[in-house]
Amino acid sequence: MSMFNGKSVLVTGGTGSFGKYFIKSLLKKYKPKKVIIFSRDEFKQHQLGENPLFGKNCRFFIGDIRDLPRLKQAFSGVDIVIHAAALKQVTTLEYNPFEAIKTNIIGSQNVVEAAINQKVKKVLLISTDKAVHPINLYGATKLCAEKLFIASNSYSPNKTAFAVVRYGNIIGSRGSVVESLSDKNLKPLITDINMTRFWIDLKQAGSLVEFAIENMEGGEIFVPKIPSIKIADLFDALRQGETKEIIGIRPGEKIHEELISLEEARHTIELKNYYIILPEFNFWSGKNLFNKYKKMGKRVKYGFTYGSNTNSDWLLKKDLEKST
């Protein structure tokens, strides 16, 4: 795959856990013309700038996705945008709703407008399983961001293509459940004994983004096939010998998550390693650009859903103990 070679690539939220991993992988595997790290955190940008890997091909832009003029400046001459910037802490956003909307919804709209204005070729949103049947504000804002991205293909046919990747918790990311449970200075707490989550690592997330950028036509949602974990099993692997305290579900939490809803399954294609949710609207004046996906895979069966509790792929307690 050479889709990044000779291209100018910008990552919003480029100093976050995924952004840093993806940019490092990009620089090691490809030969981009330029990589722009766009974020609000000047100290983290400084730290990355001291790494020899982030050499002459990298540019560091301090900015906020709430600032449309700054995004237009940053997107000038850019071919590919990975939009990873977001506010993500579920409980925090329940108490700071306006800030969530400003960043996750209005900020995503700004990314769309700047990309169309600067004629960016491909723009990919990093989304979450919490956008499916959301019960918390974070999930609702990411659902809105997904809808904005998919619908924006109507405003730029054959010019700027917009698509989405959607996955579960990244293990090892800042603020993840693994980070919390691994901290022996914190009390051994879990919220519900039955809770399950989708598990994905940074390498899998990066591969998903590469696959999406290579194949996207505009309007797709790319979903990886990934295992589920029981949070109680994860606790036992990370805090061996300790007694867990069940404190009850926090505001905005689900017991289980979904990556594909029953309604979305009606227009979902299954591939070997991924599911692709096709758009319900035709953005291309009668052209069917998705025949390739139907050739690559098959439609899922009627009644299919993809939930963390109904998943057929599980990481068991013994697997978690080996990996930790």
Q: What is the mean pLDDT of each run of 10 residues along the chain (324 residues)?
A: 90 94 94 96 92 88 98 97 95 94 98 97 97 96 98 86 94 66 71 90 95 94 95 82 82 92 95 94 67 89 95 80 57
**Residue 190 DSSP symbol:** E
Question: At 9, is the secondary structure helix, strand, or coil?
Answer: strand
- From the CB of residue 198, how many other CB atoms can be counted at a distance below 10 Å? 25
**CA gap 117, 103 in Å, rounded:** 20
**CA gap 285, 226 in Å, rounded:** 35
Tokens 């036992």 correspond to: 236
The per-residue pLDDT for 186 is: 72
Helix spans in the chain (H):
17-29, 42-49, 68-75, 90-95, 97-100, 107-117, 137-151, 177-182, 202-215, 231-238, 291-296, 317-323
Domain chopping of the chain, boundaries: 8-168+200-225+259-305
Bridge partners, 126 (sequence order): 165
Residues contacting residue 163 through CB under 8 Å, at least 6 positions apart: 122, 123, 124, 125, 149, 150, 212, 216, 217, 218, 219, 220, 221, 222
**CA gap 191, 239 in Å, rounded:** 15
Catalytic residues, by residue number, are: 130
Bin 133: left if φ > 0, else alpha if -120 < ψ < 50, else beta. Answer: left
The pairing of beta strand 228-230 with beta strand 196-200: antiparallel
Q: Would you say 24 and 53 are in contact if contact means Cβ atoms under 8 Å apart? A: yes
**CA gap 46, 24 in Å, rounded:** 15
**Residue 203 exposed, middle or buried by CB count within 10 Å (0-12, 13-18, 19+):** exposed
**CA gap 112, 34 in Å, rounded:** 21
Nearest in space to 84 (alpha carbons), one of 180, 170, 199, 178: 170
Using alpha carbons only, give the angle 39, 44, 46 rounded to the nearest 5 degrees.
105
- From the CB of residue 50, how many other CB atoms can be counted at a distance below 10 Å? 7
The per-residue pLDDT for 170 is: 86
Fold classified for 8-168+200-225+259-305: Rossmann fold (3.40.50)
